[in-house]
Each structure stands twice: as structure tokens, then as C-alpha cells.
Chain A
Amino acid sequence: MIEYEPTICPYCSCGCGMYLVIKDGEIIGQEPLKEHPVNEGGNCPKGKNAYQFLYAEDRLKTPLVRKNGSFKEATWEEALNLVAAKLKKAQPNEFGLLASGKNTNEGAYVLQKFARVVMGTNNVEYCGRLCHSPTAAGLGPTVGSGVMPISQLDIENADCIFLVGINCKETFPMITKRILRAKKKGAKVIVVDPRNTVTAKNVGDIHLQLQPGTDVAVLNSMMLIILEEGLEDDEFLQSRTTGIEELKNYLSSLDLKEMERICGVELEEIKKAAIMFAEAETGCTLFNQGLNQHSTGSDNVKALATLALLTGQYGRPGTGPSPTRGQINGEGTGDMGCLNVFYPGFKRVSEEVAKEFGGLWGVDNLPSEPGYPYTVMLQKAEYLYIVGTNPMMAAPDVNSVEKLLKDKELLVVQDIYPTEVANMADVVLPAATWVEREGTHTYVDRRVQKITKLVESPGKARPDWWIVNELAEKMGYKEYFGYTCAKDIFEEIRRCIPQYKGITYKRLEETVGGIQWPCPAENHPGTPTFFTEKFNTPDGLGHLQVVDYKPPAELPDEEYSYVLTTGRSIFHYHTGTMTRRTPKLNDEVSSGFCQMNPKDAAAEKIRNGNMIILKTRRGSIEAEARVTDEVPEGLVFVPFHFTESCANKLTNPVLDPACGMPEFKVCAVNVEVKK
């Protein structure tokens, strides 16, 4: 029998639908699902090659235990007993768990519960720390919530779209479709990016090509110009915000010429953009890693949100600064509480909240102090449990990470392939993924959608929740876990997270396109737009933020004379575990590369296609030179998908003090031809 079965793409967080074609328990193809409201039948290159990653030869199919330096196959019983025995020796603060934006909500929920209930610690984090922690830290004090405040479907109704540090044509193609629709109706697009990306080239009307890491200078300039032109939204400022006087005082102390010198964008261009955005009926703002991945990431986000408040571009469909989550469950894993400072539902870690969850879960003494953030956990936790994430590719300064991981008391890695970090583990646990298990994910605009199990997982691979459930039982905590299926867990999620209360498996199965939280009751349709009446702050007002420009931590000097920035390609996904095992995607871009401006290349005697050596204070890599005007003079760009040209061996682990975000986007690098 051949069946077309609907599912949702496993890659970014747009949440596009597709049919998988299933014959005799195997996926033999995929077809467009035209009814899905997000993608309406279209898929991007990754989405069009969505299932091949399941079937690569080196898929992990059985637990592996390291004995005398090499892996031996083990039963679940052996592997989990070993892990349990070791973990019983760990003090709460010696344990750390890293979850993933690729877990299901159910998986993520059980993972954080394991850390908190069994291990007694808030040392639970996920890769969201490395992409959107400044969003939470920046939007929290400003508007009270770090989630996308609109529905992605409403972007097409904006008449000005402000893209800040987001190369959406490559990283969020289906959001780009909405932007193109808006453009067809006359909308203008402003792109802020140091690179002349395909988004800037093909989608943008104005490109503010700033010096890397000078976003605050651009945004402050825009705000000052808006005030000078009298284009602020007085009514909105008066009724919905606080802090305008302080903001005005601060901005009036700035010298626009000085700002122009710092950011390297002509004042006239900034002015054009500022006026365009302020005069828009519906000004949509989208931002991503280009804004976030700085030691000043949370400042950048605050300034961006303040600009939206100043112009009244908040609280209506299609407005509001929207963070764009890069992973299928980038939103959901955070919602579930895989963060050192949040219990499920973004309840901030405290005595009170620990007691509340103690009541819900029937346990005493839940941890009430914040745990370590991601990179600190790598340093300090002696017992590390890593699920579906790969710090050996994704964390900054990978050489240091490697040293740290080598010396751990216990390193458990639960994943689908032998990743770089799995190869260092003491115990490797094979996970089921995507349509091999049932579960929900929460996509970029708080859109909860359900995935049905369509095929069996290979060998002994099991869903994340099952593995942790078993482990909890072996640790003596069966009464607090004891789940028999994903639905059990989702029912508990509904009880513990008010935003999910009205969402049920049955409703999700009947609703193509899912339901956007908050959804307080089973007859509630979900919430496309946030902040329509008030913000999520204690006083309900938007808090305008005064933010001072601070330069990146490491800038070029004589020894390291270029700026290095990192990012992604449309054909690959993050650390490459899935897409490099997908033949058609890997055929498109099969190895690492480094973009370099033609003038810089000439000065360094580098030709297109040469292998070059990139060196920073932390390490060096080799990559193929791509000479292109996509990067301006002085800037080189390396994507972080490729293990053989591992960009994060170079990056600077300096953190944003407000949120623990490393400065992936700027460091000083030296470039030379490989001889």
C-alpha cells in the first residue's frame, strides 16, 4: 500500500507541512501538502529533501559504551544501568544537561524534569542559549516576553519590513514568501546586515550595510532621527509605554556624525530607513542571530524593541519585533523549561516557583537557584548529559570545549548519528527522531503542531522521552515519571503550563497548521497576536530602554587584521548532522568555505578556490576561499556547518553578561593561503 501521510518539516521553525509517501513502512518520497497555511504546498531545498537524513548508513542503532577507549555495543539495560550508577554519585551542581531545539515538547519536558527532580539542579539548558538568549534578556525588561508576538502569516500585510541580522531568504524561506507578497502590494524592505546577502540583494529596498556589531549605533541613530522629524507615535507612547523622557534625554546627547563613523553607514541612508519605518502603517520587524550573537546581544534587542515602541509598531498583527527560531522546536524546548533560569512556561527560577512545581510534581526541595548557562555548564559540570546538540561544532572556541569534555567524569550523548561530541562520549544512546515517534513541536510563532509516528525507528533507537523515563526509573524515581506514551506527557504539560492548557492531541490532529499558544481553554482558537491591549510587564507598559553603544570584545589589530563573522547556507542545517547526510543538499555545498572580498583577496594573493588558513587567538582552520562581493572589505564569513572547516574553532567565547550569549558574530582573524 502506498499512503500519503501528512507531517511537518524537521528543519527550521516555520513549521511547513508536507506529505510523506510511505510504502511497506518505509518513506519512499514526499509530496506537497497544499492545505497547510504556512507553506501552501511549497517547500525550501531542505524541506524538499526532508526525510533522507533518517536513512544514512551510520545511523546510531544501538547503545554504545566506551570500554578501554573504544565503543562496544550494549543493551539498553547495560547502558542505562551504567549511566544511573555514575549519576548517583553526582552532586546536584556537578550535573548538567543540554537539551536540543530538535527535541519534541514531550522529550524536552521530561529532560528538564529529570534534571530538576532526579538530579536536583537547574543545570538544564539547550541550544537556544546560543541563538535567542539575548531575545529573552532584551525583550523581557522591555515588553515582558521574548516570543514572536505575531503570526508569521500576517507579515504579508505589513507595508514596511525591517530585517535586522536575518538572512531570511536562506534561513527562513517561507517567511520570505510572506515578505515577497507584502512587496507585491507595495511594501518596502530594509535590511540591516554587514554582508550583502541574497536577502539584501534580492529582497531589500534599502541595505544598511553596517560594520559588524554596531547595531546599537544604527538603531539609536534611527530613533534620534525619528524624534527630530517628529515621527514618533505620541499616542502610543503616552498610553502604552513609559520612559520616553529618559530616552529623549539620552538620544539628544548623541552625535549622529559620530554614530555614522561608528557604524559605517551613510547618515542619509539611515535617515531614509528611519522615516520609512516610522511612517509605515504596519511596520514589521524580524531579527535573528546577526543581532543576537554579540557580547552586546541583549542591548541590541532592547534598542530594536525600543524603536518599535517609539513608532507604535507593536501589539497589532504583522508588527512587533519578532525573533526567528532556527530549529523545529527552538521555541518549544524553551517553553518546556530547558533553561537554567526558567521552569516550564517561563516561570523564573525562585523559591516560590520551585514550591509551585514541587506541588505539581509531588516532590519536595526542587532547586530554587538558577543553574549554569550553556557554556559555563560545559566548564563546570563533571557529569554531562547531552541530547541532540553538538557543542563540538556549535559552541564557541571548540578547541577549549574539546579539552573540557575530555576530562569529564561522565559524558553521555543521546543523538541520531555519531556526531563530533558523540565520538567523545562514555555512553552513546541512540535516539528515535522526527516521524519515528509521536510528539508536538512549537514553531516560530508559538504554533504548536503535532507529528504522528509514521515509521519505526532503526534498531534499538528510542524516543528521547522513553530513554529518560527509563533512566529516571533506574535512578529510583519511577513514581514521578512512569510515562507510557507521549500523550501522557503532553497531558502533564497542559496541567503545568497554562499557555498550553487548551491544546489537546485531538485538536492538533484536526487542525491543519496547529494552534498558537496561549490557548487557555479547549474552545479557545489560540492567539495569533500578542500585546494587543497591554504588554507582559508587571505594569502592562512597554519600557523604553536607554542603550549605550559598546564595541565588540575583539576587533582587528595588526596581527589579526580581519573581522570574522559566521552564519548559515540555505542548503545546510546548523552543524550539518542531518543535511550533510542528505545527498542532494550535500551535492549543492559539499565542503566548508570562506567568503572574502575581491580587494582583500588580491591583497592577500588569494584566488577563488584556494585553500586558505584562518587563524584567531583560539585556533585555526582551513577552508576554500570564495572571492565575492557578498562581504565588504575587511570582513570574512565562514558558515558553521562543516566539521572539516569548523568555524567555531575560531570564534570568541566572550559572553553577553546579561544572558550568556557568546560573541559568534565578531572576532579578529588572520587569513593566508595554504602553502
Chain B
Amino acid sequence: MSENMYIARSSHKDALERGEYGGAVTSILQCALETGKIDGVVTVKAKNDNRYTGVPVLITTPEQLLETAGSLHCSTPNISRFVKEYLDGASTMKLAVVGKPCDIRAIIELQKRERIDVDNVILIGLNCTGTMSPTTAKRMFTEEFEVDPDSIVKEDIDEGMLTIVLKDGTKKSRDLTELEERGYGRRENCRRCDINIPRMADLACGKWGAEDEEKKSTFIEICSEKGKNLIDETIKKGFIEVKEPREESLQRRKKKDEAEVERAEKWKTRDFKIFQELNQSERLNYWISEFNKCIKCYGCRDACPICHCKECILEAKRGFVDKGEVPPDIMFPLTRLSHVADSCVNCGQCQDVCPMELPLSLLCSFLNRELTEIFQYTPGIDIEERPPLTTTTEGELQIQDTFLDISSLTEK
């Protein structure tokens, strides 16, 4: 059953040393670069070795890859935007893109919209149980862990615990839910996220299922033909050593995933409750008061991987929404919402960058959950599956609106 699953570790000394879990991902990418299978790797690097400022980078030599090994839980770079905006959507080069499940899903949505090339991109997904905003994380490390944030060399989120490792080797752990109850911990969208293993990528890599290995290793699940070719080639060229996972490893991986999904469900129930308790007009009022905070910076639009139009209808010069007004007309946020809600991948980038801290990710993921039920469509999973907005039937349009009283809006 497990011919598409491996326990892997690098055969190269440097990658073994630098990688957190045996350096397998680094070596897979090094092999792809060295063999010319790809022209570059898009991944995240701690700028000036600062763990709180991970930025997307394009790596073109195997040596540089070592500098990007290890995960940064306190940086939330927008990887899909980097590929779309600054690498021409991979139209001119073959890329391997490394990302968390939401990054991978964002890229798949952009591929559906023809803003990122499909054939030129290999997606290397990394398991994820959540990330933290750098400023919240630093505050938490200072106030709750009572350590200098700059003394941390590693963070880990596992089985409901947040663990940090300091330069001197000291480890400190705290219960994540307790931290989150007090406003620390992971970003809100991450708390609600139930996609921990990025099976929509070509390869899904992580430590779950490899914890018990004698030597540090990575668990790799092959999720596509592209992924299989890449792994086969890497093994053949001797970049990694692999073995089959044991049954108990598979079980452990499955259990951990289920526990995280359960944790996410609890957060969803809790976060969405306030809307379910409000009636429709109360809900509308709530959102209008939130939208009134908007200062029309376009930050949410620019950060959103679903917003893909080259000429956005909301631009001032298009005249669709009255220009020069703050807060902008309600059609500004509503238009954005209607354009993206069906395809939201819950990456949280919109809420991260909102200067007025509107709960945009909450709104979008709430709506998306309702829509997912109706249309049986989960965004960012299958490139062949088209967004409901483009495939809605006449009949579906008659479904009672799940969020807004549309008639009251169209009257305006």
C-alpha cells in the first residue's frame, strides 16, 4: 500500500547537517537543479538570518539551497504572489516551488486562472500545523516564554504544543491552545485550517511518520506522476536514501493529522459561532461596521492569490466604485468578496496585511465553508476542478443566499 510513500534522508553531508529532518527536501531540490530538470527553486529564506523576516527567494544553484533549509514558523511570506508577480508566473523558467499547503493551493488556483504556468512548475508541499505572525510571536516569546526572541533557533508545533529551541540548546514548551486563548500563538486562519498534509502538491513532505526513525528523516508521500519521476530520479542519482515506512508510522501520521483536523474544527465552530448566532440583518450590520474601517489601500486585493485580474475593476480609474472615498462604497469589499469567496484557500494573507485589521480571512473562510457544502468544491486541490463562479448553473443561482440579503443590495 505504501509504494507511494517513503522515509527519506539525504545522502549528502551538508544537507544532512543543515536540514531539520535529514535534509531530504534540500537534496531532492539539489538534484533537480543539478540535472537541469528545473531552472530554479522558489522557497523561503530568513533575510539576514532573521527568523521573523522570511522572504521568498529564487535559488538557482544547489549550494545556495543549504541556506534555506529549516522551517520558519514566524514568517508568513506570500509565495504564490512572488511567482505570479515577479517570476512572470513561471512562464519563462521551470521552477520547483516549496510551500505550505495554503501556498500550494494558492498556486493551483492561480494555475486554474492561467496566471501561473502548469507545466513549468513542480510543487513540493511541506506539512504544516500553522504559522505565527512575527510581531505576535515576538511578543509571545518575550512575555510568555520569557526569552529574547532573537535567541531562538527553532520552533516546532506538534500535538498541541509549541516548542522553541534556544541557541544554547534549551527547549521550552507551552500548550498552544492556552496561548491562543490569550491572543498569542498561530494566526487565526491557521487555527481553523484542516489541511495539514499537502497532498495536492506533487510531493507532500513532513516529519509525521518519521519521528521514530533512528536517524533524522523525512516522510514523503508521492502525490502525482511528476512527483514520482522526481523522486525516482533523485534516488537513482544517489541524492537521497529511502526506505518504506512501517505500518505504525503510517498510523501515527494518520492519527496526528486527524487530531489537527479536530483541533481546527473546534476553532471553526468557535470563530463562526458569532455569525451563526446573528440574524441576517445583524450580520450585515456587523460587516458594514467592519467595512467602514477600510481605508482603500488595496492591500487585501494585492495579497490575495485568487485576485488575478490584470486590470482590476476596483481600480479608481475604472469608475465602478466612486473614486477618492474613504471608506469606499460597500461595493468595494463586496465585489472583492464575490470574486474570491468561492475559491478562498484560507492563506490568511488578506488579513495579515489589512492595516485596519478587518477580519477578512474569517469572512472569506466562513463563506467558503458554506459554499463548499453547496457546490461540493474545495479550492486549490485539483487543477481540473473549475471554481463555482465560472461553472454555476441557473438552478444553483436560485439557492438561497448564505450570507447576504442580495435583494436589499440590488435595490441600491
Chain A 154-181 against B: per-residue CB contact (8 Å), 1 yes, 0 no?
Answer: 0000000000000001100110110011
A13-69 residues with Cβ-Cβ distance < 8 A to B are 19, 21, 23, 28-29, 31-37, 39-45, 47-48
Q: Please tell me if A347 contacts chain B, counting CB pairs below 8 Å.
A: no
- Which of B81, B134, B138, B324 is A588 in contact with, Cβ under 8 Å? B324
Question: Is A588 in contact with B299, judged by CB distance below 8 angstroms?
Answer: no
Contacts of B55 in A (CB 8 A): 4, 19, 31
Question: Is A41 in contact with B353, judged by CB distance below 8 angstroms?
Answer: yes
Q: Closest residue to A1 on the B side, CB-wise?
A: B58
A28 to B87, CA, bound (A): 12
Q: Closest residue to B52 on the A side, CB-wise?
A: A35
Question: Is B53 in contact with A174, judged by CB distance below 8 angstroms?
Answer: no
Given known A34-B76, A198-B327, contact A42–B86 (CB-CB < 8 A) = no
Q: Please tell me if A532 contacts chain B, counting CB pairs below 8 Å.
A: no
B71-128 residues with Cβ-Cβ distance < 8 A to A are 75-76, 78, 81, 85-87
Question: Is B355 in contact with A198, judged by CB distance below 8 angstroms?
Answer: no
Question: Is B354 in contact with A42, judged by CB distance below 8 angstroms?
Answer: yes
Question: Is A35 in contact with B326, judged by CB distance below 8 angstroms?
Answer: no
- Which of A31, A180, A571 is B324 in contact with, Cβ under 8 Å? A571
Given known A34-B352, A584-B316, contact A28–B86 (CB-CB < 8 A) = yes
Question: Is B53 in contact with A180, judged by CB distance below 8 angstroms?
Answer: no
Q: Please tell me if B224 contacts chain A, counting CB pairs below 8 Å.
A: no
Q: Closest residue to A201 on the B side, CB-wise?
A: B292
A291 to B125, CA, bound (A): 56
- Which of B138, B299, B327 is A43 in contact with, Cβ under 8 Å? B299
Chain A contributes a number of interface residues (CB within 8 A of B) equal to 43
Q: Please tell me if B158 contacts chain A, counting CB pairs below 8 Å.
A: no
- Which of B50, B297, B316, B326 is A169 in contact with, Cβ under 8 Å? B326
A198 to B134, CA, bound (A): 31
Question: Is A31 in contact with B78, judged by CB distance below 8 angstroms?
Answer: yes
Chain A 580-621 against B: per-residue CB contact (8 Å), 1 yes, 0 no?
Answer: 000010011100000000000000000000000000000000
A12 to B19, CA, bound (A): 43
A270-312 residues with Cβ-Cβ distance < 8 A to B are none
Q: Please tell me if A242 contacts chain B, counting CB pairs below 8 Å.
A: no
Question: Is A48 in contact with B324, judged by CB distance below 8 angstroms?
Answer: no
Chain B contributes a number of interface residues (CB within 8 A of A) equal to 40
Q: Closest residue to B81 on the A side, CB-wise?
A: A31
Q: Please tell me if A569 contacts chain B, counting CB pairs below 8 Å.
A: yes
Question: Which residue, A34, A173, A569, has most C-beta atoms of chain B within 10 A?
Answer: A34
- Which of B53, B298, B316 is A48 in contact with, Cβ under 8 Å? B298
CB distance from B290 to the nearest CB of A (A): 10
CB distance from B300 to the nearest CB of A (A): 10
Q: Please tell me if B56 contacts chain A, counting CB pairs below 8 Å.
A: yes
Question: Is B135 in contact with A43, judged by CB distance below 8 angstroms?
Answer: no
- Which of B85, B298, B355 is A174 in contact with, Cβ under 8 Å? B355
Chain B 374-406 against A: per-residue CB contact (8 Å), 1 yes, 0 no?
Answer: 000000000000000000000000000000000
Question: Is A34 in contact with B134, judged by CB distance below 8 angstroms?
Answer: yes
Question: Is B297 in contact with A180, judged by CB distance below 8 angstroms?
Answer: no
Q: Please tell me if B278 contacts chain A, counting CB pairs below 8 Å.
A: no
Contacts of A571 in B (CB 8 A): 324
Q: Please tell me if A2 contacts chain B, counting CB pairs below 8 Å.
A: yes
- Which of B47, B299, B317 is A42 in contact with, Cβ under 8 Å? B299
Contacts of B323 in A (CB 8 A): 587-589
A588 to B328, CA, bound (A): 11
Given known A2-B58, A19-B55, A44-B297, contact A177–B356 (CB-CB < 8 A) = yes
Contacts of A587 in B (CB 8 A): 315-317, 323
Q: Please tell me if A570 contacts chain B, counting CB pairs below 8 Å.
A: yes
Question: Is A44 in contact with B357, judged by CB distance below 8 angstroms?
Answer: no
Question: Is B326 in contact with A570, judged by CB distance below 8 angstroms?
Answer: yes
Question: Is A35 in contact with B53, judged by CB distance below 8 angstroms?
Answer: yes
Question: Is B53 in contact with A23, judged by CB distance below 8 angstroms?
Answer: no
A384-421 residues with Cβ-Cβ distance < 8 A to B are none
Contacts of B56 in A (CB 8 A): 4
Q: Please tell me if A202 contacts chain B, counting CB pairs below 8 Å.
A: yes
B280-321 residues with Cβ-Cβ distance < 8 A to A are 292-293, 295-299, 302-303, 315-317
Question: Is B316 in contact with A40, judged by CB distance below 8 angstroms?
Answer: no
Contacts of A39 in B (CB 8 A): 355
Contacts of A570 in B (CB 8 A): 295-296, 326
Contacts of A321 in B (CB 8 A): none
Contacts of B324 in A (CB 8 A): 569, 571, 588-589
Number of residue pairs across A and B with beta carbons under 8 Å? Answer: 112
A41 to B135, CA, bound (A): 10
A177 to B76, CA, bound (A): 21
Given known A2-B58, A28-B86, contact A198–B326 (CB-CB < 8 A) = yes
Q: Closest residue to B294 on the A side, CB-wise?
A: A202
Contacts of B316 in A (CB 8 A): 584, 587-588
Question: Is A169 in contact with B295, judged by CB distance below 8 angstroms?
Answer: yes
Question: Which residue, B47, B56, B76, B138, has most C-beta atoms of chain A within 10 A?
Answer: B47
Contacts of B87 in A (CB 8 A): 2
A23 to B82, CA, bound (A): 13
Q: Please tell me if A528 contacts chain B, counting CB pairs below 8 Å.
A: no
User: What is the interface of chain B mostly: helix, strand, loop, or mixed?
Assistant: loop
Q: Please tell me if B163 contacts chain A, counting CB pairs below 8 Å.
A: no
CB distance from A270 to the nearest CB of B (A): 26
CB distance from A18 to the nearest CB of B (A): 10
Question: Is B53 in contact with A40, judged by CB distance below 8 angstroms?
Answer: no
Contacts of A173 in B (CB 8 A): 295, 297, 355-356
Q: Please tell me if A6 contacts chain B, counting CB pairs below 8 Å.
A: yes
Given known A2-B58, A584-B315, contact A47–B353 (CB-CB < 8 A) = no
A31 to B56, CA, bound (A): 11
Contacts of A180 in B (CB 8 A): 293, 356-357
CB distance from B387 to the nearest CB of A (A): 26
A146 to B58, CA, bound (A): 48
A569 to B316, CA, bound (A): 15
Contacts of B327 in A (CB 8 A): 198, 202
Given known A34-B135, A44-B355, contact A2–B86 (CB-CB < 8 A) = yes
Q: Closest residue to B292 on the A side, CB-wise?
A: A202
Q: Please tell me if B133 contacts chain A, counting CB pairs below 8 Å.
A: yes
CB distance from B291 to the nearest CB of A (A): 10
Contacts of A177 in B (CB 8 A): 355-357
Contacts of B81 in A (CB 8 A): 31
Contacts of A42 in B (CB 8 A): 297, 299, 353-357
CB distance from A195 to the nearest CB of B (A): 14
Question: Which residue, B53, B56, B296, B298, has most C-beta atoms of chain A within 10 A?
Answer: B53
A28 to B82, CA, bound (A): 12
Contacts of A35 in B (CB 8 A): 50, 52-53, 75, 134-135, 138
Question: Is A202 in contact with B293, judged by CB distance below 8 angstroms?
Answer: yes
Contacts of A202 in B (CB 8 A): 292-293, 327
A187 to B395, CA, bound (A): 48
A198 to B302, CA, bound (A): 24
Question: Is B133 in contact with A23, judged by CB distance below 8 angstroms?
Answer: no
Contacts of B76 in A (CB 8 A): 34
Contacts of B138 in A (CB 8 A): 35
Q: Closest residue to A184 on the B side, CB-wise?
A: B357
Chain B 132-145 against A: per-residue CB contact (8 Å), 1 yes, 0 no?
Answer: 01110010000000
Chain A 429-458 against B: per-residue CB contact (8 Å), 1 yes, 0 no?
Answer: 000000000000000000000000000000
Contacts of B52 in A (CB 8 A): 35, 512
Contacts of B303 in A (CB 8 A): 32
Closest A-B pairs by Cβ, 4 of them: A42-B355, A587-B316, A35-B134, A589-B324
Starting from the known contacts A40-B133, A40-B135, 18 additional A-B residue pairs (CB-CB under 8 Å) come to A4-B47, A21-B86, A28-B86, A33-B53, A35-B52, A35-B134, A37-B135, A41-B133, A43-B297, A43-B353, A173-B295, A173-B355, A198-B327, A202-B293, A512-B50, A570-B326, A588-B323, A589-B323
**Would you mind naming 24 contact pairs between A and B with Cβ atoms under 8 Å apart?**
A2-B87, A6-B47, A19-B55, A32-B78, A32-B352, A34-B134, A34-B352, A35-B50, A35-B134, A40-B134, A42-B354, A43-B299, A43-B355, A45-B298, A47-B297, A173-B355, A173-B356, A176-B356, A177-B357, A202-B292, A202-B327, A587-B315, A588-B324, A589-B324
